[in-house]
């Protein structure tokens, strides 16, 4: 059987509530004393946004929750029209193992943002704030 996937995924992810019921119809209903639903198999999604992105006349700002990372674990770089944020934290546990926490995020930089003045800092409560002003436009009339 061939599966045809859309060229891109929807912005809010895979619509599991539409995909799973036809695939697993037997899980709808009751089995013994238990009520089953395909929602039991759906991945939990955090409805809260992992980042807050704002752009207005004063500038462009991205705020990312990085409270599980130290500032030295983070890397912010501009690549083309995107800001890339990477975080990687390794922690040695008792015994022979490591615990690793890692993320990568990309944010498109709107037109008119002065990328040369981009700044980033981590607040005391663990929020990475990336900001850049808008480019100065010369609005004087030509004489």
For residue 59, is pLDDT > 70?
yes
> In the sheet where 74-79 sits, what is the strand order?
74-79, 82-92, 98-108
pLDDT of residue 136: 81
For residue 143, is pLDDT > 60?
no
For residue 7, is pLDDT > 60?
no
pLDDT of residue 17: 59
For residue 95, is pLDDT > 90?
no
Rounded distance between C-alpha atoms, residue 118 and residue 88, angstroms: 22
pLDDT of residue 8: 59
Rounded distance between C-alpha atoms, residue 31 and residue 25, angstroms: 13
Q: What is the mean pLDDT of residues 87-93?
A: 84
């Amino acid at each position: 059987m061939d599966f045809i996937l859309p060229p891109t995924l929807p912005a809010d992810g895979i619509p599991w509530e539409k995909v799973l019921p036809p695939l697993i119809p037997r899980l709808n209903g009751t089995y013994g004393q238990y009520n089953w639903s395909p929602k039991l198999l759906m991945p939990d999604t955090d409805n809260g946004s992992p980042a807050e992105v704002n752009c207005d006349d004063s500038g462009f700002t991205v705020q990312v929750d990085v409270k599980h990372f130290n500032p030295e674990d983070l890397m912010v770089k501009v690549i083309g029209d995107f800001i890339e944020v990477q975080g990687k934290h390794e922690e040695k546990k008792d015994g022979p193992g490591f615990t690793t926490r890692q993320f990568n995020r990309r944010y498109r930089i709107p037109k008119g943002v002065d990328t040369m003045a981009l700044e980033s800092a981590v607040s005391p409560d663990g929020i990475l704030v990336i900001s850049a002003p808008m480019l100065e436009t010369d609005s004087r009339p030509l004489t």
